[in-house]
Structure formats: C-alpha cells, structure tokens
Amino acid sequence: MKRFLWITLLSLTCYSMHAQEVYNSSGRGGEARYKANQTKKGFDPNRLIFGGGLGLSFGNTTAVSVAPIFGYRITDNFAAGVSLGYQYFRVKNYIPVYNYQTSGYDYYDYKSSVFSTGLWARYVFLQNFFVHAEFEYNFMSFNDYYSDYNGVYSTKTKYNVPCLLLGGGYRQPVGEHLSFVIMALYDVLQDIPGNTRRDQQGNRYSLSPYADRIDFRIGVNIGF
C-alpha cells in the first residue's frame, strides 16, 4: 500500500485572505459583509477561489504531484475556473528487459512525467455537497526499453491525452473563507480509441493517467 502525505498548497494564501476581507460601510464583518457583497455588481474579489494540494511518496516508489486551482464563484452555488498539474513517478527495478548477452532479465526503473491544464466547474447543493466536472489535457512522457543482441536501449515516449473527469465531493468549512475539500472523479474518456493502445500480446490498455480507477482528491480551497 503506497503511503501518500498530503500537504496543503497555500501559495498566495496571505494575499487571497486579505483580498477576501472586504468590509461594508458599517465596519462589520460576517453576515453584514456577506449581505453587502451580494449587492455588488461586476467583479467581486470576495468570490475568488484559490487552492490545491501537494502529494508526496518516497521509498521504492517515488511520487510527486502538485495541483493548484484558481476560480471564481459566479453565483452562490456555481463556480468555475482553471487548474494546473504536474505528476512525477519513479518505480525502482520495475521494467524487465531481456539481455541477450547474459541470457537473463535486467530490471530498470520506470519514470514518467505528466503536465496538465484544465477547465473545471462545480455546483453546490445541500449546502456543502457539490458535483464537479473537469476537462483536462495531459502532456505525458515516460521511458521505455528494448534490447537486441548488441545491448539494451532506452527511449522516451510522449503522448497527449485528453480526460473528462466527472464526479462529486464534499467541502468542510474550517473558517469564513477556508474549506477542506474531498472529491472522487472518474475519467469517462479513458477508453475512447484515441486514448488506447495495444501491447505486444494484443491486450488493449488506456493511456489515461486515471485509467481503471477512481481518482480521489483531498485539498484546501480558499473562497469556496
């Protein structure tokens, strides 16, 4: 079982918290400030959303992921924004490659990197539950190996993979503008023809970084 240490990503926290501390003319915060903001028209900094998460895992498997998000609450229940992401994986001695010179198998590390950009939307219902949709485009690269009678060779393979993640989650407010967020998402595009390949045995597999699993996310959001 891989252990993941989730560390909240709070870049721009001080700025965003300050930007959201907008008081009305009475000088009172809380409910008075919220009602005052409801009457505002146009851009309202109180509706900005910042957040994300950082994932770390070390050992035989090294995994690093960074996933900041930025958005805006268009209405009290509906929000939309953009997301960025980077994932790095390294698994020691994971890939077996036949060595013709020794008549045996050598094992090599598996390494991959994924950069992603995305657009997301959320709709809140029952106060703290929400549905979430996110279109994500992934730029993937990983190392591969092959061998012949002259030796073993390493190559780098690159793919561009679109994903459409659908699901929902729950937010737990821990302050006036701060919430812990947990959600579960599933990639509904993972099995489309452009996102699949076949291995040497003819078995089909998906290139999606979310293939054959539900993606669970935990993070911190400011303004949501």
Identify which has the larger pLDDT, 72 or 102.
72
pTM of the model as a whole? 0.71
Cross-strand bridge partners of residue 156: 143
Distance from C-alpha of 132 to C-alpha of 45, rounded to nearest angstrom: 22
**pLDDT tens-digit series, residues 124-163:** 999 999 999 999 999 999 888 878 888 888 888 898 999 9
Q: What does the pLDDT read at residue 143?
A: 84
Q: What does the pLDDT read at residue 71?
A: 95
pLDDT for 32 beyond 60: no
User: Residue 83 is encoded by which pair of tokens?
Assistant: 């997301």
Distance from C-alpha of 86 to C-alpha of 82, rounded to nearest angstrom: 14
Domains by residue range for the chain, with CATH: 5-222 (2.40.160.20)
- Dihedral angle at the C-alpha atoms of 16, 123, 169, 119, nearest 10 degrees? -70
User: Residue 90 is encoded by which pair of tokens?
Assistant: 């390294």
**pLDDT tens-digit series, residues 104-119:** 888 888 888 999 999 9
Displacement of CA 175 from its chain's centroid (Å): 24
Helix (H) or strand (E) holding 20: helix 13-20
Q: What does the pLDDT read at residue 213?
A: 85
Pick from 40, 2, 49: which is nearest to 22 by CA?
40
